[in-house]
């Protein structure tokens, strides 16, 4: 029996969950246009395998990694989320704070929502792990908790033996309730997904579903549906409990070291909605074409959860829930780890778990100078020094930021939440990480160029030295010997030419 403990640091922010968790999940509307970015996951982007003007069916693969196969690469295919015609393959605005554009496939829907032939693996337990894993890879499933890491990669562990499967139903970010509603309404599908994951992982001896103790209905629903080998555990409500490292520590007492993968200690963590997507892919033959999104905030008339087709423009789902006056900001994700978007034209993608339409009274006031109060240090679950990292970020002292372990920061936002000066600390950390990564990339490129140049110079000098040495040797030999050497060289050249002609 698992006895969860608390982790060090963390916070208890206002939940705002009752805004959207009171009503059942509703089907999102079929939009006239679907905008499907070629990159909706962590890893390599996909390439289109359809052309403009082509008719497509719901569930049809329209983009693959390398245009062929994503099974052995950190990537995952993209499917048409409804039937219709491809009308463009072009850059469109995608969900990103900068509002940047990226290649997308645009489908004009035909209103029929017609599926391609679905091919479930009904008797999956008779099939090998690889067959089921490849089926999951082709279904385009990624971590639906918001991370977007391809699920089939987390199911491939040639170098590690996995004995513990953790299903993450924590959903600790304020406002977000899509996992809560899913656990209450479809616990059987989650349990069925767990059975499939356990089959693919092979030797799993223990499976724990973790649910925060502020989701009593979800906990009871899972408890009733749970089968042998599956333990449902309530964990304390504390942010960022849903982070993989914190959850593992709370459930098993094991701490992950710097850059250590959960798999290296025999553990794999999957989100509850990801687990449901695995069930749908294997038992129903349905690839990932939709996800549950929480539409909430004080500027939304009827906050709720919608099952939305991927690629649906955000304004369609927002309008379905109704807008109030006084809209101040649109945030994708939660208020802790999410980011503000410049407009609502962008599509819902695989990692969109929540849209918050907030009013001015929900937003933090303007940023003020750091007063070195140390509040951020108290709450950091990773034991970092957030204010030091902030100072180094401001000074662009990337080396010091690295020395102070900026790459261990999980970007949970606890420090920014308690900061009395309302400094957007996480934005500074993301900036520093991006700069360090970019510098590293440039450094590596420069190193390669330098090594190539050095080798070329060395080769030229060596060839020159050899030539000079041969020349010097020739000076010392007699005229007869010189003629013999020249004759031998001519003979070798002729033989070489003759052999080349024959071949
Ligand atoms: S909580 Fe904010 S004001 Fe206080 S030390 Fe940290 S960054 Fe500075
Ligand atoms: S420094 Fe990073 S890990 Fe620590 S509280 Fe801030 S965001 Fe979270």
Q: Please write the tens of the pLDDT for every residue from 206-247.
A: 999 999 999 999 999 999 999 777 999 999 998 999 888 889
Q: Is 454 exposed, middle or buried (0-12, 13-18, 19+ CB in 10 A)?
A: exposed
- Which residue in this structure is represented by tokens 């007063």? 371
**Ligand 1 atom 7 nearest Cα:** 387
Parse the chain into domains and list their residue ranges. Answer: 119-285, 364-503
Q: Is 70 exposed, middle or buried (0-12, 13-18, 19+ CB in 10 A)?
A: buried
Pocket of ligand 1 (CB under 6 A): 370-376, 386-387, 390, 419-421, 423
Kindly report whether the peptide bond that precedes residue 240 is cis, defined as omega within 30 degrees of 0: yes
CA distance 52 to 59: 18
> By mean pLDDT, which of 135-139, 420-424, 446-450 is the weakest?
446-450
Mean pLDDT value of segment 169-176: 95
- 310 CA distance to ligand 2 centroid (A)? 31
Q: Please give the model's pTM, rounded to 2 decimal places.
A: 0.80
Superfamily (CATH) of domain 119-285:
NADH-ubiquinone oxidoreductase 51kDa subunit (3.40.50.11540)
CATH of 364-503, one of 3.90.25, 1.10.3470, 1.10.1060, 1.10.10: 1.10.1060
Using the predicted structure, report yes or no on whether residue 71 has a pLDDT greater than 80: no
Using the predicted structure, report yes or no on whether residue 59 has a pLDDT greater than 90: yes
CA distance 150 to 277: 12
| Max Cα-Cα span within the chain | 105
CA distance 36 to 290: 12
CA distance 355 to 300: 10
Using the predicted structure, report yes or no on whether residue 303 has a pLDDT greater than 70: yes
- Are 177 and 21 contacting, i.e. CB atoms less than 8 angstroms apart? yes
Using the predicted structure, report yes or no on whether residue 321 has a pLDDT greater than 90: yes
What is the position in ligand 1's atom list of the atom closest to the CA of 371?
Answer: 3
Question: Residue 240 has which token pair?
Answer: 């960022």
Q: Reading across the β-sheet that carries 55-56, which strands appear in turn? A: 33-37, 101-109, 84-93, 55-56
Question: Residue 20 has which token pair?
Answer: 């959207």
**Ligand 1 atom 3 nearest Cα:** 370
Using the predicted structure, report yes or no on whether residue 11 has a pLDDT greater than 70: yes
- 13 CA distance to ligand 2 centroid (A)? 15
Could you tell me the pLDDT band of residue 111, with boundaries at 50, 70 and 90?
very high
Arithmetic mean of pLDDT over the chain: 89
Higher pLDDT, residue 273 or 40:
273
> By mean pLDDT, which of 78-92, 349-363, 426-440 is the weakest?
426-440
Question: Residue 463 has which token pair?
Answer: 């060839």
Q: Would the CB of 409 count as within 6 Å of ligand 2?
A: yes
Question: Which ligand sits nearest to residue 429's alpha carbon?
Answer: 2
Question: Which ligand sits nearest to residue 375's alpha carbon?
Answer: 1
CA distance 297 to 313: 18
- 11 CA distance to ligand 1 centroid (A)? 15
What is the position in ligand 2's atom list of the atom closest to the CA of 386?
Answer: 1
Could you tell me the pLDDT band of residue 160, with boundaries at 50, 70 and 90?
confident
């Amino acid at each position: 029996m698992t006895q969860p403990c608390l982790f060090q640091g963390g916070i208890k922010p206002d939940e705002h969950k009752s805004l959207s968790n009171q009503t059942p999940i509703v089907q999102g509307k079929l939009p006239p246009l679907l905008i499907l970015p070629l990159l909706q996951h962590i890893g390599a982007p996909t390439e289109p395998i359809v052309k403009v003007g082509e008719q497509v069916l719901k569930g049809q693969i329209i983009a693959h990694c390398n245009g062929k196969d994503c099974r052995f690469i950190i990537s995952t295919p993209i499917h048409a989320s409804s039937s219709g015609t491809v009308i463009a393959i072009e850059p469109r605005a995608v969900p990103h704070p900068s509002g940047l554009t990226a290649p997308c496939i645009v489908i004009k829907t035909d209103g029929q929502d017609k599926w391609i032939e679905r091919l479930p693996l009904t008797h999956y337990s008779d099939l090998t792990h690889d067959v089921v894993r490849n089926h999951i890879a082709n279904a385009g499933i990624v971590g639906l908790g918001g991370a977007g890491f391809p699920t089939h990669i987390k199911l491939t562990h040639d170098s590690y033996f996995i004995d513990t499967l953790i299903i993450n139903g924590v959903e600790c970010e304020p406002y977000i309730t899509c996992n809560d509603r899913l656990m209450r309404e479809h616990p059987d599908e989650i349990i069925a997904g767990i059975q499939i994951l356990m089959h693919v992982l092979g030797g799993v001896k223990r499976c724990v579903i973790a649910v925060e103790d502020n989701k009593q209905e979800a906990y009871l629903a899972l408890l009733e549906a749970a089968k042998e080998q599956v333990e449902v555990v309530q964990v304390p409500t504390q942010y960022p409990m849903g982070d993989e490292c914190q959850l593992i520590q709370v459930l098993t007492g094991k701490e992950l070291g710097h850059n250590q993968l959960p798999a290296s200690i025999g553990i794999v963590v999957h989100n509850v909605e990801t687990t449901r997507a695995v069930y749908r892919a294997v038992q129903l033959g349905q690839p990932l074409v939709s996800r549950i999104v929480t539409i909430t905030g004080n500027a939304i008339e009827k906050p709720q959860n919608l099952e939305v087709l991927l690629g649906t423009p955000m304004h369609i789902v927002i309008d379905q829930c109704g807008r109030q006056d006084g809209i101040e900001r649109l945030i994708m994700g939660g208020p802790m780890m999410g980011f503000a978007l410049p407009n609502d034209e962008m599509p819902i993608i695989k990692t969109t778990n929540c849209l918050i339409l907030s009013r001015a009274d929900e937003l933090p006031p303007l940023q003020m100078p750091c007063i070195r109060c140390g509040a951020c240090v108290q709450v950091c679950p990773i034991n970092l020094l957030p204010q030091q990292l902030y100072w180094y970020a401001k000074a662009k002292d990337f080396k010091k930021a690295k020395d102070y372990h900026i790459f261990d920061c999980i970007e949970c936002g606890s420090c920014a939440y308690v900061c009395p000066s309302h400094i957007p600390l996480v934005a500074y950390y993301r900036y520093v990480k991006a700069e360090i990564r970019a510098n590293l990339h440039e450094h590596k490129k420069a190193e390669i160029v330098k090594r190539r140049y050095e080798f070329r110079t060395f080769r030229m000098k060596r060839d020159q030295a050899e030539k000079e040495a041969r020349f010097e040797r020739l000076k010392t030999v007699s005229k007869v010997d010189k003629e013999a050497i020249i004759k031998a060289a001519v003979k070798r050249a002729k033989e070489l030419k003759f052999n080349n002609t024959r071949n």
